[in-house]
Structures are given as C-alpha cells and as structure tokens.
Amino acid sequence: MVVGMACIGFRLGRRRGGVPRLPQWSDRTDRKFPASRGNFPRAAADHCRVKPRVPSRPAAVPFLTALLLAALSVLAPAPRAQAHAQLLASSPAADSVTAESPTAVTLSFDSPVQPGYTTVAVLGTDGTPYTDGTPTALNGQVQQKLGRLPKGAIQVVWRAVAADGAPLQGRFTFTNADDTAPVQPPARPSTPAAPPAAAPAARDSADWPWWAAAGGLSVAAVAAVAVLVRRPSRGR
C-alpha cells in the first residue's frame, strides 16, 4: 500500500510539475522492501515504473496474408496433367513399303485402350475399305485383319479410347509393293470444297490477361501488409 501511494504521488508530481512528498520509511516498509532500506524514493519509482506496451499485430494481417497466398497460388504454374495413351509403333510402319501384302494392321500403344471403342479403317486410294471383321484390343495391342490389298498406297485411319476415357485418333499411310497384288482402280477426283465464310474477328482476350490482374492483386496485398505491420497502433 505504501508503494502504491508512492506511485500515485510520483504520477501526480509529474502532471503538476512539482515534486511529490513521499511517505516516511517504517519498519513495515523495511520488511516489505529489505533491499531498498534508506532509498525508499528509488524503490517506489522502480516499482511504479510502467513498462512500454508492445504493439500487437493488426487484425487485418492474417487476412491480407491469406489474400497474398491466394494470389500467389493463381500465379503459380498449374501442375502438368497426366499423359494419356499414345501410339508407339505400327505394323506396317508409317510411310513404309511392304514387299508382300500384309494380312493385318497392328497398333502398339504405351498403355491399354478400351476394346469396345476401337475402330481401324484401311482404305485404298479410291476409298475402298479392305478390312476383314472388327479389331481386337488386348492391353496396349490393337490388331485389325485385312482382306487382299491392292498394289499402291494404303491409308490407315484409327480411333481408340484410352483406359482413362481420353479419345485417341490418328492416321498414316504405307505402300504395298507386292507385284502379285491387284491394281487399284484410279482414285476418285475430289471435289474442292467451297472456302468457308470469313468469321468476324473475335476480340483478343489477351488485352487484359488473367495473370496481370493476379499480379496487381498480389502487389497490393504485399503493400498493405507492409503498411499495417510498420504503422504503430493508435491509442497505445
């Protein structure tokens, strides 16, 4: 209680500009502050000294930090998607020349394809099909049996569905150089298609790319966090 009175006296003295009168030393005070005997004013001043308050973090800092992390996640590159099945090889190979007429076309993929969604068309130069039956698919191997091929260029058009549901398609040609093969009929003349009408030019969406907006948002969030962290809290 004595020390509390001394604290009040020190504070009143500072406000009024005068020196406060401190209570006299007593045996009771001596028992409470044995290390400060004979120096009561200093003991009282040390006791009532107010420690400076450490400014707490502004409440908006966690929100702005989360906003900054969200902006950075937008700017970060997206993870690379898992690759779908791809055609590794074919027999006959693309652009190859066969000395004998092949009896089947085989497609080799790097992963399994769905059997019920695979089609293989083998066509001559005039568009005549030369397939025999439906293709079979086992794991990553697709085989299509052929009838008797004519001599000349042969086109293979295939479609498949990967195990993950991704559609696949492709085409290639090879040349059958078997002298015993029948000669193909002349190719049908193709009618040139009319050129499509010019579509109106669409507005370029790259005028304001999405990454520019995300970059500006991240810069604004960083600036706001820096200002709130450095600015001392009011009323403290």
Does the pLDDT value for residue 178 go beyond 90?
A: yes
Ramachandran region, residue 38 (left: φ > 0; alpha: ψ -120 to 50; beta: rest): left
% of the chain at pLDDT higher than 90: 39
% of the chain at pLDDT higher than 70: 44
This prediction has a pTM of: 0.48
Residues 100, 157 within the same domain: yes
Residue 186 lies in a domain: no
Residue 222 lies in a domain: no
Residues 27, 98 within the same domain: no
Lowest mean pLDDT among 3-17, 65-79, 87-101, 221-235: 3-17
Residue 146 lies in a domain: yes
Does the pLDDT value for residue 69 go beyond 60?
A: yes
Residue 96 lies in a domain: yes
Which has more confidence, 53 or 78? 53
- Using pLDDT thresholds of 50, 70 and 90, give the confidence band for residue 204: very low
Domain span at 168: 87-176
Tell me how many domains the chain contains. Answer: 2
Query: What does 81-129 look like in DSSP terms, one character per residue?
Result: PPP---EEEEESPTT-EESS--SEEEEEESS-B-GGG-EEEEE-TT--B
Nearest to 125 by CA among 156, 155, 149: 155
Residue 11 lies in a domain: yes
The answer for residues whose C-beta is within 8 angstroms of residue 194's C-beta and 6 or more apart is: none
Confidence at residue 156, expressed as pLDDT on a 0 to 100 scale: 98
Residues 35, 110 within the same domain: no
CATH number of the domain bearing residue 127: 2.60.40.1220
Q: What are the φ and ψ backbone dihedral angles of 229, each rounded to 5 degrees?
A: -70, -40
- Using pLDDT thresholds of 50, 70 and 90, give the confidence band for residue 184: confident
> If DSSP codes are grouped into helix, strand and coil, which group holds residue 181?
coil
Residue 190 lies in a domain: no
